[in-house]
Amino acid sequence: MAVEIKVPPLGESITEAVVGKWNKKPGDAVTADEPLVVLETDKVTIDVPAPSAGSLSSIAFKEGDKVRVGDVLGLVEAGAGAPAAKPAAAPAAAPAPAAEAAAASDARSTPTARKVAEENRVDISQVKGSGAGGRVHKDDVLGQLNRPATPAAPAQPAGPRPNAAREERVRMTPLRKRVAERLIQAQSTAAMLTTFNEVDMGEVMALRKKYNDKFQQKHGVKLGFMSFFIRASVEALKAFPQINAEIDGEDVIFKHYYDIGVAVSGSRGLVVPVVRNADKQGLAELEKSVGELGTKARNDKLALADLQGGTFTITNGGIFGSMLSTPILNPPQTGILGMHNIVDRPVARDGQVVIRPIMYIALTYDHRLVDGREAVQFLVRVKECIEDPERLLLDV
């Protein structure tokens, strides 16, 4: 008996994916629940398991093809005596009539999307939704508002390329396409401005050198710089709540929780998993959280939930040698902190020129909500916490 391999639900607002890799070829034996094919979405990768034991009899989509939720990827021919497909796979076939009716009766757009569309006189029926079942979200309406009157030409050559023999054309991955869309969205929907400061890392470096071995022995993780910057950012966000807020139409949503996104390098590029309730974690817990998320990113094990709901973002270009940058906001957040490399620089201290380990830091913020005064004071607060780390321990 042939059992269908279907594209499973991919998460809220994700309706399509790209076939990344088949782990088996037609004719190969498979076991029940064995990872059979890898799907890539614009946010995460998903392993689709074999629905039953047997052999892979056919493949409907090759690597690189686009698929949608519910598409049949291939067939598994259940072997003699092989266990039947697990009941959990059955609901993917068709929704119950009651659930289908409820979904049909539900509004095609979110309340926030309808409000933004009404305020900007956008015909929401003409907006293509990115949500489940084509549901329209606020970002879809904003994207419609900022779409140029003449659609941009597809990324195809206008004619023969003179150096085509020495070039290579590679299709954008879903993640890279999504990153590109988000960057354009950030630039077109926010009034971004960046302010800078410098931090003397001497005290934190001395503290780290003095206690790192004992810290690692007790907690099983190294003491890095990121935990200090997360804690310092949380303290600054508490002092300047506009930078931990979000603009929603004509309203401002102030978030009294601190879910900090930390940009890390994954196998497919830069991703921003979220450290939840960072204000309730100590340095050791923060180092463990960041380390676990980084490992999941490198191994393509991040879940959609790991990437959603951040209130503020920190990115560290210093690990790649960056001296200074102007990071781009991660919508709908209103602030992102950029860390950079640590360089011994000559600075004035008490009328003398001394050499100190200096890091430049940058805060990009949405000027619609955050004034320059708050942005500058935010960085000063971060600077004070890093240069005098006892503040983080004493909460002063």
Closest Cα partner for 129 from 43, 48, 50, 12?
12
Question: Mind telling me the catalytic residues?
Answer: 367, 371
Q: How far apart are CA 238 and CA 117, in angstroms?
A: 33
Closest by CA position to 126, among listed 145, 110, 112: 145
**HEC string for 180-235:** HHHHHHHHHHCCEEEEEEEEECHHHHHHHHHHHHHHHHHHCCCCCCHHHHHHHHHH
Contacts of 73 (CB under 8 A, 6+ apart): 5, 6, 7, 19, 37, 48, 59, 60, 61, 67
Closest Cα partner for 239 from 51, 76, 391, 71?
Answer: 391
- β-bridge partners, 17: 67
Question: For the chain, how long is the longest CA-to-CA vector?
Answer: 86
CA-based nearest residue to 379, from 205, 194, 186:
194
H/E stretch holding 104 reads: helix 97-105
Q: Which tokens is 365 given?
A: 């913020």
Phi and psi at residue 286, in whole multiples of 5°? -65, -45
Q: From 294, 380, 300, 305, select the one nearest 337 (Cα to Cα).
A: 380
Spacing of C-alpha 380 from chain mean position: 27
Please give the angle made by the CA atoms of 291, 292 and 298, to the nearest 5 degrees.
90
| Other Cβ atoms closer than 10 A to 217 | 8
